[in-house]
């Protein structure tokens, strides 16, 4: 892989992870393989956005469970939101998601499909060599996410359905307040629930709470944390 990139003396790689040991380990692996590369680090989403704007990296290697800013709790949805912003602002940016929460990428499947830069996934359970292979593919502008369950499962979830899920299960709101937050009627919120449950194959069963079943299924699919 070194040979493939030896001509690029200015290769810049930004590594994003809030765990210092993981961050250092990833930097060491990349540094050993791409000896001429400039390696930059960030440990939260806001810091990462600043670094991307200032450094203009060729590649990002990032975890999904990161804090929004220093001192806050790391959550996969912060990484997902960061990816949304990055893919919108930098459509040709090469990205490797190195995370134990890769199933949450189903939330932005359509964004990934339309992204023009390289986009690969390296589950943290992969070996160093396998991770480097994903890095190499991303630098070549390739997309490789087919081996991740759920991302290409055909699950189509609209943004408003995700909003309902988050307001209900992340903020604990009832349908009336959800409707007010979304500026729609309660009837429309119930319609969203119906469509979401159909997409998740969740239907009324005697003795079971359909909302709890929806929450469990949504979490299993990576739609909520």
Same domain for 20 and 109, yes or no, is yes
**Are 24 and 135 members of one domain?**
yes
Using an 8 Å Cβ cutoff, are 108 and 79 in contact?
no
Is residue 203 one of the residues assigned to a domain? yes
Would 11 be classed as within a structural domain? yes
The verdict on 124 and 193 lying in the same domain is: no
Calculate what percentage of the chain has a pLDDT beyond 90: 58
130-151: average pLDDT:
79
108 and 48 in a common domain: yes
Domain that holds residue 181: 159-220
Where is pLDDT greater, at 202 or 54?
54
* Poorest-pLDDT segment among 56-70, 107-121, 151-165: 151-165
Mean pLDDT of the chain: 87
CA distance 50 to 40: 12
Give the model's pLDDT for residue 153: 54
Using pLDDT thresholds of 50, 70 and 90, give the confidence band for residue 104: confident
Say which CATH number the domain at 104 has: 3.40.50.2300
- As beta bridge partners, residue 96 has 61, 120
Final residue of a domain: which of 79, 113, 144? 144
Decide if 225 is inside a domain. Answer: no
The answer on 182 and 98 residing in a single domain is no
Instruction: Judge if 129 and 23 occupy the same domain.
Output: yes
More confident: 105 or 40: 40
Number of domains in the chain: 2
What confidence tier does 1 reach under pLDDT thresholds 50, 70, 90?
very low
Percentage of residues in the chain with pLDDT exceeding 70? 91
How would you write 117-166 as a 3-class SS string? CCEEECCCCCCHHHHHHHHHHHHCCCEECCCCCCCCCCCCCCHHHHHHHH
Q: What is the CATH number of the domain that holds 200?
A: 1.10.10
What contacts 187, CB < 8 A, 6 or more positions away?
none
Flag whether pLDDT at 3 surpasses 50: no
Give the tens place of pLDDT for each residue, 169-193: 989 999 999 999 999 999 899 888 8
| 138 shares its domain with 170 | no
Q: For the residues 96-120, what does the mean pLDDT come to?
A: 87
DSSP per residue, the chain:
-HHHHTT-TT-EEEEE-S-HHHHHHHHHHHHHHSTT-EEEEESSHHHHHHHHHHH--SEEEE-SSB-SSTTSPPBHHHHHHHHHHHHHH-TT-EEEE--S-GGGGGGGHHHHHH--S-EEE--TTS-HHHHHHHHHHHHTT-EE-TTSTTTTS-----HHHHHHHIIIIIS---HHHHHHHHTS-HHHHHHHHHHHHHHTT----TTS-HHHHHHHHHHHTTS--
Q: Is position 78 within any domain?
A: yes
Q: Classify residue 100: in a domain, yes or no.
A: yes
Whether residue 14 sits in one domain with residue 124: yes
Better-scored residue on pLDDT, 38 or 10: 38
Q: What is the pTM of this model?
A: 0.71
**How crowded is residue 224: how many other Cβ atoms within 10 Å of its Cβ?**
19
Residue 40 lies in a domain: yes
Pair (137, 192) in one structural domain: no
Does residue 149 sit within a domain? no
Select from 94, 109, 144 the last residue of a domain: 144
Same domain, 8 and 110: yes
């Amino acid at each position: 892989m070194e040979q493939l990139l030896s001509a690029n003396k200015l290769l810049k790689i930004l590594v994003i992870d809030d765990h210092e040991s993981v961050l250092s380990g990833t930097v060491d692996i990349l540094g050993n393989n791409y000896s001429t590369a400039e390696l930059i680090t960030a440990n939260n989403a806001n810091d990462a956005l600043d670094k991307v704007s200032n450094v203009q990296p060729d590649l990002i290697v990032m975890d999904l469970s990161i804090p929004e800013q220093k001192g806050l709790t790391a959550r996969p949805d912060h990484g997902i939101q960061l990816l949304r912003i990055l893919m919108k602002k930098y459509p040709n940016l090469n990205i490797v998601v190195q995370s134990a929460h890769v199933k949450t990428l189903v939330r932005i499947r359509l964004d990934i499909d339309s992204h023009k830069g390289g986009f690969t996934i390296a589950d943290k359970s992969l070996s160093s060599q396998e991770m480097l292979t994903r890095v190499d593919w991303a630098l070549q502008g390739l997309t490789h996410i087919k081996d991740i369950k759920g991302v290409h499962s055909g699950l189509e979830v609209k943004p408003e359905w995700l909003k309902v899920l988050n307001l209900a299960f992340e903020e604990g709101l009832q349908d009336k307040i959800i409707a007010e937050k979304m500026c729609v009627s309660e009837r429309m919120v119930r319609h969203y629930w119906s469509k979401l449950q159909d997409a998740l194959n969740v239907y009324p069963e005697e003795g079971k709470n359909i909302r709890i079943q929806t929450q469990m299924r949504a979490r299993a699919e990576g739609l909520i944390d």
